[in-house]
Amino acid sequence: MKITVYQKPTCTTCREVYRALKESGAEMEAVDYYLEPLSEAKLKELVKKMGIQASELFRKKEEIYKKLKLADKSVPDDEAIRLMVKHPDLMQRPIVEKGNKAILARPAERLKEIL
Q: Provide the 3-class DSSP secondary structure of residue 102.
A: strand
Element (H, E) at 45: helix 40-50
The catalytic position among 11, 20, 30, 68 is 11
In contact, 28 and 81? CB cutoff 8 Å: no
Residues 6+ away with beta carbon under 8 Å from 96: 3, 4, 5, 6, 17, 21, 102, 103, 105, 111, 114
DSSP at 65: H
Annotation marks residue 14 as catalytic? no
Instruction: Give me the active site residues, please.
Output: 11
